[in-house]
Amino acid sequence: MSTEQTALVRKSRGRPKQFDRGTALSKALNLFWRHGYEATSLADLVEATGAKAPTLYAEFGNKEGLFRAAVEHYLKNFYEKSSCLLSRTDLSVEDTVGRYLRAIVELFTDCDTPSGCFMISASSGMSSSSADIAEMLRARHLSQERTLFEYFEKKKESGDLTAVTDSALLAKYLACTIQGFSVQARDGASSAELNRLIDVVMNLWPELTKATVVSKAAH
């Protein structure tokens, strides 16, 4: 090795590693997803991200700040891949819902990430001391149901769903179904198994939309 090469090696060894926010968020997200918010310590996050504690504090403020950033990272990089299907205009409502559910199942069973829904998993076992975080997760989770409700309302306006369809009930039914998929995935259900359940949902779809009409008439 030449004198110049030796000098370069010594210089690089003394240079601090550059902090990569995106990489750190991905690693922190994985940890929160796997173990939950409260069970994940700052020491765990330091080890997982490879960043020093002062660096994480400077970037995110504290553990809660890092978690909130991880939630946004999840929504942007994972959840939006399925929710963008609801903005397509070239698919029928039935086809859109089917693809939406399958995209979510793909996420819940992806071998590269922990199983199930991140926000459901992260909120498990929270104490009263984490009330703010729990409320934030609840609001974020309910936004999925609200997004589905708004989608169905637009489809009623365009005539793709009958005017008497109960958008709120339909959205809640799908939200509950998705929560069930998350639990099943965490318990080890495969993508194939969950997709068979989606087949059942889609076979029932015409009756599900009719059921909303019956429920309104019954009241």
The per-residue pLDDT for range 156-204, each reduced to its tens digit, is 999 999 888 899 999 999 999 999 999 999 999 999 999 999 999 999 9
pTM of the model: 0.82
Confidence (pLDDT) at 173? 95
Share of the chain above pLDDT 90, in %: 63
Residue-wise pLDDT for 9-67, tens only, equals: 343 343 345 788 999 999 999 999 999 898 899 999 999 999 988 999 999 999 999 99
Confidence (pLDDT) at 150? 95
Residues with Cβ within 8 Å of residue 51, at least 6 apart in sequence: 19, 24, 59
Pair 19, 55: CB distance under 8 Å: yes
Mean pLDDT of 127-156: 89
Pair 201, 180: CB distance under 8 Å: no
pLDDT at 97 over 70: yes
Confidence (pLDDT) at 17? 59
Confidence (pLDDT) at 207? 85
- Structure confidence at residue 212 as a pLDDT band (50, 70, 90): low
Confidence (pLDDT) at 209? 82
Rounded distance between C-alpha atoms, residue 151 and residue 155, angstroms: 6
Mean pLDDT of 104-125: 90
Rounded distance between C-alpha atoms, residue 9 and residue 130, angstroms: 46
pLDDT at 211 over 80: no
- Residue of 121 and 196 predicted with greater confidence: 196
- Structure confidence at residue 216 as a pLDDT band (50, 70, 90): very low
Residues with Cβ within 8 Å of residue 186, at least 6 apart in sequence: 115, 116, 121
